Structure 1
């Protein structure tokens, strides 16, 4: 059967199955009863007739949608098909692609003037006055494929050089953090346990060496979740004290960084690949052009560093170690 939208008469949401084709139209996607969940009237209202009259209402609608999408990820985890992308450790599943297609469909229907940059599908060209959204439908796909709990849905945006609406949703705990121009979820102060987090594939020996050097210099503890969004989520929960990631992709880091940026506890630093220090949320014409160029290649945009304002030494250690050839 072909995919159809859930309705009041048939309130069931199906994962669109694409066989690893992220640019497949929803109308051509197939469905399987195994990969479907019932949805509420409230969900159907947010899907079909959302009141997006303010950023706060829009955020509320997105959280409602993510609740059922998160439920769908859990249901699909046991039996979903797993594919490899460009590298052996770089995985994608039909869940990643299906969730992205569903949200792209919703944005195109209800927010056609917004730009959505999804991890799995073709990237639009950004302009300085755009509301730019970044989506990672399954942040931590390797964990997800291994039937682990450490994965999340990242959905975040910038507008006029500032964070706009940002959500990190953790399906297994049914919990989330969010930020809008007027509201933000509760952020816990930095952990006193002095935990330094970075994420990289186990076979990346150079990155492992850099991380171990930082741990030795700082005498801090290692902290890793194998999912960037989850690591930033744990910073919001007070379980991680400092974070860095080199060669990051925007959908992995921007939603979490935007939420943490609302807190008085953190210093957030971003460097482009050519070592320009600029706000991760900037809409400067040169930075937007830089992002568009990155999206033509590997989508890696630069290095993010987040450290406690009251512990500047760890920031210096991270920057000095990363600067060494």
Structure 2
């Protein structure tokens, strides 16, 4: 894709994300039809569905030949080499339900299975994160750069429990956290994979790990971290793959490796 087209796609995505954010603000705190997906803690609201429908309708006006994958409409998503928009209309739905402001829309344009544009907008925090492959990452127009932390002992690590609540997974997560807590400065969970990745890109935390994710959780944020100078890898140290739904993102390879070394033994039932 040429430079002019890349910038055009980003501009459209930013405008659509801003409008979607206004939809979230208007619906926040009001009555919602809420449905359960994987578990009682994995929810979808009518606003999730309305935002996704709006976003895809707007994008199709500009890019009728592009493909689309969205959290609320994809049943078994397949990613091809064609230009594809991957959208999570509300990342942090549980937060949204409780009016906890750590909520965003995440949009990525992917080409040949690699993100080339990432737009993450948090309307309640008033933060617009953007990245284009090869052009850096920004928050509200200000360049982003990951932290310079070099040791796990001085790091702040982000994690999420995820949408599954079976006993084996909970035990695995608990083991991971115990293992990491012995070494790092602290652990934090915010309820949004996309914003966790932006937090790494912003230098406010040093590492993040999670498994059992989907491509819409990761596509935009992974690019934003990479373009901010960070390191993104599969949780098994393999090359990061959007469709495997496993990630370690960090300010550098040393922190990523240290996190993986601490947690991998507890993940073997799931990797």
TM range (shorter): 0.7 to 0.9
The TM-score normalised by the length of structure 1 is 0.70
Cα displacement (A) at 1:144: 0.4
Report what 1:245 is aligned to: 210
Which one has the largest radius of gyration? 1
Query: Which whole-Å CA distance do the structure 1 matches of 2:77 and 2:90 have between them?
Result: 23
Report what 2:6 is aligned to: 55
Report what 2:70 is aligned to: 118
User: SS where residue 112 of structure 1 aligns?
Assistant: coil
1:173 aligns with 2:125: yes
Q: Is the Cα–Cα contact under 8 Å of residues 180 and 262 in structure 2 kept in the other structure?
A: no
Deviations 1:137-161 (A, max 9, x none): 1100000000110111111122124
Report what 2:55 is aligned to: 103
Query: Which whole-Å CA distance do the structure 2 matches of 1:238 and 1:220 have between them?
Result: 15
Bigger relative contact order, structure 1 or 2 (CA pairs below 8 A, ≥6 apart): 2
Cα displacement (A) at 1:130: 0.9
1:270 aligns with 2:206: no
Cα displacement (A) at 1:230: 1.7
Residues 1:279 and 1:232: Cα distance change in structure 2 (over 3 Å): closer
Residues 1:225 and 1:106: Cα distance change in structure 2 (over 3 Å): same
1:144 aligns with 2:144: no
Report what 2:145 is aligned to: 188
Query: Which whole-Å CA distance do the structure 1 matches of 2:148 and 2:134 have between them?
Result: 26
Query: Which whole-Å CA distance do the structure 2 matches of 1:248 and 1:69 have between them?
Result: 23
Q: Is the Cα–Cα contact under 8 Å of residues 247 and 303 in structure 1 kept in the other structure?
A: yes
Q: Which structure: greater helix fraction?
A: 2
Q: Is the Cα–Cα contact under 8 Å of residues 118 and 131 in structure 2 kept in the other structure?
A: yes
Q: Which runs of 5+ in 1 are unaligned?
A: 1-51, 282-290, 292-300
Deviations 1:264-284 (A, max 9, x none): 3x221126xxx7934325xxx
Residues paired across the two proteins, number = 252
Report what 2:253 is aligned to: 309
User: SS where residue 164 of structure 1 aligns?
Assistant: strand
User: SS where residue 54 of structure 1 aligns?
Assistant: helix
Residues 1:93 and 1:249: Cα distance change in structure 2 (over 3 Å): same
Residues 1:122 and 1:303: Cα distance change in structure 2 (over 3 Å): closer
Report what 2:20 is aligned to: 69
Report what 1:298 is aligned to: none
The TM-score normalised by the length of structure 2 is 0.82
Query: Which whole-Å CA distance do the structure 2 matches of 1:241 and 1:187 have between them?
Result: 14
Query: Which whole-Å CA distance do the structure 2 matches of 1:124 and 1:323 have between them?
Result: 24
Q: Which runs of 5+ in 2 are unaligned?
A: none
Greater shift in the superposed pair: 79-88 or 56-65:
79-88
Cα displacement (A) at 1:109: 2.6
1:210-225 paired onto structure 2 within 5 Å: 210-225=175-190
Deviations 1:97-139 (A, max 9, x none): 1110011112333212211110001458646431122111110
Cα displacement (A) at 1:188: 2.9
Cα displacement (A) at 1:302: 3.2
Q: Is the Cα–Cα contact under 8 Å of residues 167 and 177 in structure 1 kept in the other structure?
A: yes
Among 45, 48, 53, which residue is 1:93 paired with? 45
